[in-house]
Amino acid sequence: MSLLGLLSALGACAPRHEVALPSVPPPPLLTAAQVAGLIPSTVKDREGWAADVLAALETEALPPSPPAICSVLAIIEQESGFQADPAVPGLAKLVRQRLETEAGRLGPLGKRLLAEVLAARAPGQTRTFDARLSTLRTERDLDRLFRDMLAYGEQTYPKTFAAADLASSLLRAQKLEDLNPITTAGAMQVSVQYAQEKAGEDADPVAVRESLYTRAGGVRYGTARLLGFEAAYPEPVFRFADYNAGVYASRNAALQSQVSQLTGISLAADGDLQLYDKQGEPRSEDSQSLRALLVFRQRFAPDLSERQVRRDVRTEKTLDLEATDTWRAVKRAAARRTGETPAYAQLPEVTLKSPKLRTERTTAWFARSVDTRYQKCLARYHARERAGPP
């Protein structure tokens, strides 16, 4: 024992050497030429696309690493095939149906007024609104047609529209989105509402929309929407799902699944813990997910108050949710139940509904399709690196 004590004392007195941890080199930063080389060779003006992607990343203070570049390029290829203002198949028919439906709600008067407006033309235009409607191809065409029709209606039928209550339903809608069936735009098909919120309250909504139809503007807002938030996703596929279903949808979907397993309450893992209206604002009634969380609180975390759970759920679209007592309680209970670390994310269960889709699609399909393009982009990058300079 005395020998062991002596050896221990000597060991304690011996100088200690810190163990050097292997350093992780920072990711390479791609040049404009390298980015252009990752864009499919069939794309026109690859150098211009590369410049706009790099500018968008710089605006968001994000380094142009291969994963970041390939993430943006994969979304562009998926959403528009590198078209700044992509054509929408059957757009004229979609818009005409929407206008006729809205006019029909007002009876014969609505239909008559719609016919009169379509037969008219905007100042400086040689074609009628009806002729322009019949030849719609792109979102920019549609946007400009609606703006001209709204302006014409306000100037020509102010009293008639007010009497017929058309101010909120036809041609004088306060927001173009009220009648416009297209809510995403540009090369990355980014949400128009997101772009306007990103631009700020002082920004001109018309100017924001117009910028979305340019290559630079569409890439700028799309890149911010894709990469402009923190999340501990183990794979990029979850961020691609969020681009389609909403920020933190993949993270929240995993939480929903864990609450469902703990409580036995069936939940759609759609990534929304609350109910939302068409403007994206939380509705007053409780969602099924919130009700399940309140049941979870009673069974597994009685120290949590109902008020606290409700307050925590309101942070679901932010990183702050992960610092809440509700998040921690669910993760602890899920870990005890399975003996494993609970999943941080899973692909949301969302069926996509859009006039642009001809067949039924899901968020999982979208995310995996983008991920396939992303992996091919990375493979091209690594192949070029292995080949070295020409």
Collapse the DSSP code of 1 into the 3-class scheme (helix H, G, I; strand E, B; otherwise coil) and give the result.
coil
Q: What is the pLDDT of residue 115?
A: 86
> For tokens 């209550």, what's the residue?
165
71 found inside a domain: yes
Q: What is the pLDDT of residue 139?
A: 84
379 found inside a domain: yes
| 258 in the same domain as 213 | no
| 161 in the same domain as 99 | yes
| 157 in the same domain as 36 | no
| 77 in the same domain as 197 | yes
197 found inside a domain: yes
CA gap 296, 263 in Å, rounded: 6
Q: What is the pLDDT of residue 176?
A: 42
Identify which of 297, 247, 245, 285 has the alpha carbon closest to the alpha carbon of residue 268: 245
Spell out the residues 6+ positions from residue 83 whose beta carbon is closer than 8 angstroms to its own: 187
CA gap 46, 36 in Å, rounded: 5
CA gap 88, 355 in Å, rounded: 9
Sign of CA dihedral 226, 311, 273, 262: positive
| 168 in the same domain as 108 | yes
Q: What is the pLDDT of residue 249?
A: 98
23 found inside a domain: no
Under-70 pLDDT residues of the chain: 1-24, 153-154, 157-182, 353-359, 389-390
| 200 in the same domain as 129 | no
Stated pTM of the model: 0.84
5 found inside a domain: no
CA gap 390, 388 in Å, rounded: 6
Out of 181, 216, 247, a domain closes at 181
> For tokens 């409700």, what's the residue?
310
CA gap 1, 344 in Å, rounded: 50
Q: What is the pLDDT of residue 22?
A: 63
Q: Residue 205 corresponds to which amino acid?
A: P
DSSP 283: P
Q: What is the pLDDT of residue 143?
A: 83
Say if strands 351-352 and 190-191 run parallel, antiparallel, or are unpaired: unpaired
Tokens of 67: 């994963």
| 71 in the same domain as 210 | yes
| 197 in the same domain as 74 | yes
Collapse the DSSP code of 102 into the 3-class scheme (helix H, G, I; strand E, B; otherwise coil) and give the result.
helix
| 209 in the same domain as 74 | yes
168 found inside a domain: yes
- Give the range of the structural domain holding residue 223, as residue numbers without chain letter: 28-85+189-228+368-390
Q: What is the pLDDT of residue 4?
A: 40
CA gap 171, 194 in Å, rounded: 23
Provide the domain count of the chain: 3
112 found inside a domain: yes
Q: What is the pLDDT of residue 98?
A: 80
264 found inside a domain: yes
| 165 in the same domain as 118 | yes
Out of 300, 322, 338, a domain closes at 338
* Cα–Cα–Cα angle for 91, 95, 100, rounded to 5 degrees: 150
Residue 51 CA to chain centroid, in angstroms?
23
Tokens of 265: 């309450």
Q: What is the pLDDT of residue 182?
A: 67
| 380 in the same domain as 292 | no
CA gap 102, 180 in Å, rounded: 11
| 331 in the same domain as 266 | yes
Q: Residue 70 corresponds to which amino acid?
A: C
> For tokens 């791609």, what's the residue?
30
Q: How many Cβ atoms sit within 10 Å of the Cβ of residue 351?
A: 12
